[in-house]
Amino acid sequence: MARNESFMLPLNTKAHDFSLPNTVDQSIISLDQVKGVSGTLIIFMCNHCPYVLHLIDKMVEISREIKESGINTVAISSNDVENYPDDRPELMKKLALEKSFNFPYLYDQTQEVALAYKATCTPDFYLFDYDLKLVYRGRFDNARPKNNNPITGHDLSEACQKLSNGLPQEINQIPSLGCGIKWKDGNNHKPKEWFSN
């Protein structure tokens, strides 16, 4: 499987607005609707990625925990479903129901939202403060498929705790690692441009 690291969008970047369909109930969800009073976690993910599936249960657990601190979660899938049919919206809905997501699972059909956030892999985590400024982007923890490390969500959980408690974030954040986002043909050049800047 092809592996990509997250781009590591500059800290303090303002969250890009979006309005996308929630695959569970077909409602249109905007960033303003989903943002939390303390912060907002945006996860770029998909159905079929083994890196996502390896972490998914713990991701849902942590999303419930941080919601109690006023941090809302939203997940977005931007993959090309024509070439990767396992990521179709109806299967996104199925996964969300099977795993009891307590957050919307949105479909970015045009891939414009993924491009705006410079997302490169699944999963890709972005934590924003109450002003929607980026405070953390990076890995969930050091667990990967087949590496036998325990799935703890330590890195992301620690960032959420620091945000909730008004503490400074770790500056040396470690990139996430996962499958590359499956870009449509017209978008294939974008990630290469980001890394060459």
- Nearest alpha-carbon partner for 69 in 91, 36, 106: 36
- Report the C-alpha gap between 54 and 58 in whole angstroms: 9
pLDDT (tens digit per residue) in 79-119: 999 999 999 999 999 999 999 999 999 999 999 999 999 99
Q: How far apart (Å, rounded) are the C-alpha atoms in residues 128 and 14?
A: 8
pLDDT band at 185 (very low <50, low <70, confident <90, very high): confident
Band (3; pLDDT cuts 50, 70, 90): confident
Over residues 50-68, mean pLDDT: 98
**Mean pLDDT, to the nearest integer, of 28-39?**
98
Report the pLDDT averaged over residues 169-188: 90
User: Tens digit of pLDDT for each residue in 146-155?
Assistant: 899 999 999 9
**Cα angle 33, 92, 123; round to 5:** 75
- In 10 A of CB 26, how many CB atoms? 10
Confidence of residue 2 (pLDDT cuts 50, 70, 90): low
Higher pLDDT, 186 or 23: 23
> What CATH number should be reported for the domain holding residue 169?
3.40.30.10
**Domain carrying residue 67:** 3-196
Residues in contact with 42: Cβ distance below 8 Å, sequence separation at least 6, in sequence order: 15, 73, 74, 75, 76, 117, 125, 126, 127, 128
pLDDT at residue 146 in the model: 87
Residues 181-193 have a mean pLDDT of: 70
Higher pLDDT among residues 191 and 40, named by residue: 40
CA distance 91 to 167: 39
Number of domains in the chain: 1
| Cβ neighbour number for residue 166 with a 10 Å cutoff | 8
Cα separation of 119 and 52, whole Å?
14
| pLDDT band per the 50, 70, 90 thresholds, residue 188 | low
